[in-house]
Amino acid sequence: MSESLFADASKRLEKALAYVPISEDTLKRLKYPKASLTVSIPVRMDDGSLSIFQGYRVRYDDTRGPGKGGVRYHPSVSLDEVQSLAFWMTFKSALLNLPFGGAKGGITVNPKQLSKQELERLSRGYIEAIADFIGPDVDILAPDVYTNEMIMGWMMDHYSIITRRISPAVVTGKPITMGGSQGRTSATAMGAYYAISAILPKFSQLPAQTTVAIQGFGNVGAILAELLAKVGYKVVAVSDSQGGIYAEHGLDIPSVRQYKNAGGSMKAVYCDKSVCNIVEHRLITNAELLALDVDVLIPAALENQITEANANDIQAKFIFEVANGPINSAADQILEKKGIHVFPDILINAGGVTVSYFEWVQNRSGLYWNLTEVNERLKGKMAEETERTWKISQEFGVSMRTAAYIHALNRLGEALDAKGTRDYYVNQL
Just list the catalytic residues.
Answer: 104
Rounded distance between C-alpha atoms, residue 195 and residue 204, angstroms: 15
Cβ atoms of 255 and 269 within 8 Å: the answer is yes
Amino acid at site 301: A
| Cα–Cα distance list, 223 to 185, 193, 230, 251, 254 (Å) | 10, 10, 11, 14, 9
248 beta partners: none
Amino acid at site 121: R
Q: What is the CA radius of gyration of the chain?
A: 21
Residue 110 — φ and ψ, nearest 5°?
Answer: -100, 100
- Reference 40, options 130, 121, 152, 135; nearest CA is 130
Cβ atoms of 382 and 354 within 8 Å: the answer is yes
- Reference 255, options 234, 274, 233, 228; nearest CA is 274
Cβ atoms of 126 and 134 within 8 Å: the answer is no
Rounded distance between C-alpha atoms, residue 173 and residue 147, angstroms: 10
Region for residue 215 given its phi and psi (left: phi exceeds 0; alpha: psi -120 to 50; beta: otherwise): beta
Rounded distance between C-alpha atoms, residue 171 and residue 105, angstroms: 12
Cβ atoms of 85 and 79 within 8 Å: the answer is no
Task: Write out 191-218 in H/E/C secondary structure.
Answer: HHHHHHHHHHHHHCCCHHHCEEEEECCC
Rounded distance between C-alpha atoms, residue 229 and residue 298, angstroms: 14
Instruction: Work out the burial of residue 51: count CB atoms within 10 Å of its CB; fewer than 13 is exposed, 13-18 middle, 19 or more buried.
Output: middle
